[in-house]
Structure 1
């Protein structure tokens, strides 16, 4: 186990290095000029050039990247061009909100998705199965901002059960989590249904039934531990996706997370923030997958980490 974790951590470091290099190239090739963004439209060419020199933007690409990499190895993500604040400070201020929304979204998609998938698999071919799969199709197809606006209109404006937006209490968390969870629940329900149907056909499940075990014990003691393995892998991916790809939901509900910070930085070509958020999100994805790999043998002891 220790050797496996060390090997994966080394792979993680190499992956993050590659991501930092590719992201830095893409930002270097962007036609927008950060120095001009900082100086303003009315600034003179001399002022813009001075800012470019102060930030090191006049250096060749490889020098800029090596300087950034040297700072990164010391834990320094750089300083925001426009906000004049350390990127690590800005990310740390937004991180709790993103982690909270990520946890709420994963809880919602697991609760809805697994329940829908299990019922659909147990009633395969029935009207209930068809209705649940249509619902899951709507969930994976509907744009997030549409779901978010509909939930706001019904439950916040019309019924008044939840606040229209904001952050700080449990009631603020419900609607954004359900919005994100509805999309994930569609994928989880389809995966759960397919996996469970396949497991229920296996010989060991038939043997468990033949021994006289109740339907619930056969399902949760014998079938579910194997059927849920693909779901664990999906959760590992979702950890990273929810850390970086929820800017639409954050904007609809006024949620002060990392996604909103990244979107603001992209609009202003604030390269240090873009780089910082990208690396944090990539790290979350890689570590989420590692966590999923470590949990899988605990669910199914037959799986060995190599």
Structure 2
């Protein structure tokens, strides 16, 4: 088990370093950062001064070394626009994004797992077809369009929930539903396929032969084994939600990392953009690593791979 964890940890660190290199390179390949910071109407003297102040006159390898070493110490510099340190901005916005992602994943699991189990138990019935229809619809509808529909129905029409902001728990209901509905189809389909494989196993037929109730057979014996890949997918989906919350946060005006990333990109606030990309990557890689470890704990056969 220790060897398995060390191998996965080395892979995670290698991926993280690759993401850092790519995010640094993409910003520099997008054009002259000094001109982007100073503005198109700035004089040559101003551009040269900004280039020296931000170390943009040094070789790229030196710039990357300084930036990466500072990033390892959680020092991403100061924002060009907000005039705060980047970590102060991230610290203020991160709880909102984490709360949104956590609630969205919880809603997705609460709907997807029971729906997948029922669809597998009643295979090829109208229940199964309805579940698959919901799954296909969830992947076909863009999440920003679904978010706007939710606003029109529950905020503008029925006036049950607020339209935008993050002042109370009610402000997170519609964004969490919109974000969670996008992750629900894959979780539901994986639960259904896992349950179909498990329900055809010999030990399930033995459990039925012993006279156990259908509920115990499905939940205690079936779902416990079928849930293993769902755990891994759920952690990965949480990483996708944290990274893909830009659109939902923009639609509902939630002041999280996604909204901060959008504001920073539109204002050429490069230190904030680099920090957010790296921090989201850390979350995603960490959650993937956690999924691998949980799978190895739940299924000892994976430890030998």
- TM-score bracket for the superposition, by shorter chain length: over 0.9
SS at 1:147 equivalent: helix
The equivalences for 1:202-241 within 5 A come to 202-241=201-240
Q: Which moved more, 1:257-266 or 1:131-140?
A: 257-266
In the alignment, which residue of structure 2 is the partner of 1:278? 277
1:154 is displaced (CA, Å) by 0.5
CA deviation map 1:200-255 (0-9, x unaligned): 11111111111111011101111111111121111121222122211111011111
Query: CA RMSD, aligned part only?
Result: 1.8
CA distance 1:18–1:297, change in 2 (3 Å):
closer
In the alignment, which residue of structure 1 is the partner of 2:288? 289
Q: Which moved more, 1:96-105 or 1:41-50?
A: 41-50
Cα distance between partner residues in 2 of 1:280 and 1:238: 16
* Alignment gaps of 5+ in structure 2: none
For these two proteins, the number of residue pairs brought into alignment is 305
The equivalences for 1:171-210 within 5 A come to 171-210=170-209
Q: Which moved more, 1:58-67 or 1:286-295?
A: 286-295
1:44 is displaced (CA, Å) by 1.2
CA deviation map 1:67-107 (0-9, x unaligned): 11221233212222232322111111111001100111101
Cα distance between partner residues in 1 of 2:296 and 2:71: 34
CA distance 1:210–1:302, change in 2 (3 Å):
farther
Q: Is the 8 A contact 1:34 1:270 kept in 2?
A: no
Are positions 1:24 and 2:61 aligned together?
no
In the alignment, which residue of structure 1 is the partner of 2:86? 87
TM-score in terms of structure 2 length: 0.94
Q: Is the 8 A contact 2:228 2:295 kept in 1?
A: yes
SS at 2:211 equivalent: coil
CA deviation map 1:151-188 (0-9, x unaligned): 11111111111001110321111111111111111111
Cα distance between partner residues in 2 of 1:80 and 1:206: 62
1:189 is displaced (CA, Å) by 1.2
Cα distance between partner residues in 2 of 1:193 and 1:66: 48
* Alignment gaps of 5+ in structure 1: none
The equivalences for 1:86-235 within 5 A come to 86-235=85-234
